[in-house]
């Protein structure tokens, strides 16, 4: 069922990535059907993963490199540990959980989504704002791990090698730092719970609060079924991300304090994005994270802001370009959509003004095309040429 992709990633044979995504509820949802032995044959190189990401995400070279290296190191460690266990040896694994810092719309989620799709492991995406100390979507934080089992078609052993991606993790910072006001108690509680997951713990496959699940477990026991009753998080890779608004102020204050008394010349002030590249562990602690929590995320990388020329490149060169989507939408009505270079440039400039990164492309695109989508279908028009003049008028 599986074929080699590049040097060791796995894909469904006989299906391109788009059909794979559609048939499996989407790579972002992480619904996959791999074979666990494939994980132990992982042999991708960091440059292989980055080359794959380059097809979909514009810029963000440092983030691509950091993620590619961390993923390769993680699954190479898994492969080595498996080999050593078979030989009766025991090695320690220090997981390289990853933190990706950057504003909205720069490609953080897109990067992780395509990595999971490439290597073919169960993948769960969650929003940290949905967490509380006592529950997540009606359950608890452990439900993230249980959801991996669902994405692995019930294969708990396979789920133990999946990826959990948590966005907006900066919202878990306590208000004692620069984080979200009012999150002192629940924010710290969620950090503590996630800390246990990121280290190594056993998570019951049945939620203790789920009466239906407990009844099913009792029935299995009565019928003599011996199913795996927990999942170990030792080999689950955690990737977290967030915008970390306010963190740059902490870095700037520290940097300015360090300059006092050492130079009479006024240093050139750094832009916010540049400041993020100088964040220390203590800065994250001052922001409102527990030292133990931030210490379990050793790989940290910053995504760059996207300018108008970057958004233009996304439209022109990304395999996930919205232009392809719009072309298909008009094609459904028998209309050939052609977007001139001047039109692409104008769309990118307008999207940059939205200040929401690549997400601004859809906002602007829908606004520009809305009337055309409504008025043209069902008419004799078979071609729509979009250029700067048409957009402005």
Average pLDDT over residues 255-276: 61
Where does a domain end: 275, 302, 329?
A: 302
- Determine which of 36-40, 47-51, 54-58 has the lowest per-residue pLDDT on average: 36-40
Question: Do 161 and 21 belong to one domain?
Answer: yes
Contact 134, 209 (CB under 8 A): no
Question: Do 253 and 350 belong to one domain?
Answer: no
Q: What's the pLDDT tens digit per position in 140-197?
A: 788 899 999 999 998 999 999 999 999 999 999 876 554 444 445 567 888 888 999 9
Average per-residue pLDDT for the chain: 82
Where does a domain end: 242, 269, 302?
A: 302
CA distance 329 to 289: 45
Question: Do 201 and 159 belong to one domain?
Answer: yes
CA distance 393 to 373: 16
pLDDT for position 215: 57
Question: Do 314 and 199 belong to one domain?
Answer: no
pLDDT for position 237: 96
Question: Do 86 and 197 belong to one domain?
Answer: yes
Average pLDDT over residues 21-36: 46
Question: Do 271 and 320 belong to one domain?
Answer: no
Average pLDDT over residues 350-370: 96
Q: What's the pLDDT tens digit per position in 210-226?
A: 555 555 555 555 665 55
pLDDT at 42 over 50: yes
Q: What's the pLDDT tens digit per position in 318-331?
A: 999 999 999 999 99
96: containing domain: 2-302
pLDDT for position 393: 84
Count the domains in the chain: 2
Average pLDDT over residues 110-121: 92
Question: Do 197 and 319 belong to one domain?
Answer: no
pLDDT at 14 over 70: no
Question: Do 199 and 332 belong to one domain?
Answer: no
Question: Do 69 and 173 belong to one domain?
Answer: yes
Residues 6+ apart with CB under 8 A from 308: 345, 348, 349, 351, 352
Q: What's the pLDDT tens digit per position in 270-311?
A: 556 778 888 999 999 999 999 999 999 999 999 999 999 999
pLDDT tier at 22, thresholds 50, 70, 90: very low
pLDDT for position 220: 58
Question: Do 245 and 374 belong to one domain?
Answer: no
Residues 6+ apart with CB under 8 A from 102: 63, 108, 241, 243, 276, 302, 303, 304, 305
pLDDT for position 3: 38
Where does a domain end: 267, 302, 337?
A: 302
Here the tokens at position 150 are: 């669902």
Q: What's the pLDDT tens digit per position in 53-108?
A: 999 999 999 999 999 999 999 999 999 888 877 676 777 778 899 999 999 999 99
Put the strands of the sheet holding 299-302 in their side by side order: 123-127, 163-167, 237-242, 98-101, 299-302
Supply the CATH number for residue 362's domain.
1.10.8.60
Question: Do 355 and 212 belong to one domain?
Answer: no
Question: Do 35 and 126 belong to one domain?
Answer: yes
pLDDT at 135 over 80: no
């Amino acid at each position: 069922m599986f074929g080699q992709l590049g040097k060791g990633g796995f894909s469904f044979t006989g299906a391109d990535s788009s059909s794979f995504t559609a048939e499996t509820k989407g790579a972002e949802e992480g619904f996959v059907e791999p074979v666990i032995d494939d994980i132990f044959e992982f042999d991708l190189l960091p440059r292989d993963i980055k080359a794959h990401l380059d097809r979909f995400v514009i810029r963000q070279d440092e983030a691509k490199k950091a993620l590619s290296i961390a993923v390769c190191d993680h699954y190479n460690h898994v492969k080595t540990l498996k080999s050593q266990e078979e030989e009766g040896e025991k090695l320690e694994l220090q997981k390289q959980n990853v933190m990706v810092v950057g504003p909205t719309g720069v490609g953080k989620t897109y990067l992780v989504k395509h990595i999971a799709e490439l290597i073919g492991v169960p993948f769960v995406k969650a929003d940290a704002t949905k967490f509380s100390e006592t529950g997540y979507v009606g359950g608890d934080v452990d439900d993230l791990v249980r959801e991996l089992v669902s994405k692995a078609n019930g294969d708990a052993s396979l789920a133990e090698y999946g990826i959990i991606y948590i966005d907006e993790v900066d919202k878990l910072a306590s208000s004692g730092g620069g984080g979200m006001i009012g999150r002192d108690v629940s924010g710290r509680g969620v950090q503590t719970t996630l800390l246990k997951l990121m280290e190594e713990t056993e998570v019951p496959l049945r939620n203790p609060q789920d009466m239906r699940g407990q009844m099913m477990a009792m029935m299995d026991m009565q019928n003599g079924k011996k199913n795996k009753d927990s999942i170990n998080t030792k080999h689950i890779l955690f990737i977290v991300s967030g915008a970390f608004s306010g963190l740059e102020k902490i870095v700037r204050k520290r940097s300015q304090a360090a300059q006092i008394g050492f130079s009479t010349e006024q240093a050139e002030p750094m832009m916010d994005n540049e400041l993020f590249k100088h964040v220390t562990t203590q800065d994250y602690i001052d922001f409102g994270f527990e030292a133990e929590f931030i210490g379990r995320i050793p790989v940290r990388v910053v995504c760059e802001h996207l300018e108008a020329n970057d958004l233009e490149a996304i439209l022109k060169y990304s395999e996930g370009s919205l232009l392809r989507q719009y072309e298909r939408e008009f094609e459904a009505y028998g209309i050939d959509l052609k977007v001139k270079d001047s039109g692409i440039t104008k769309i990118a400039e307008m999207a940059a003004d939205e200040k929401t990164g690549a997400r601004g492309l859809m906002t602007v695109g829908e606004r520009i095309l809305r009337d055309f989508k409504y008025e043209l279908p069902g008419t004799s028009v078979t071609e729509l040429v979009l250029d700067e003049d048409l957009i402005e008028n």
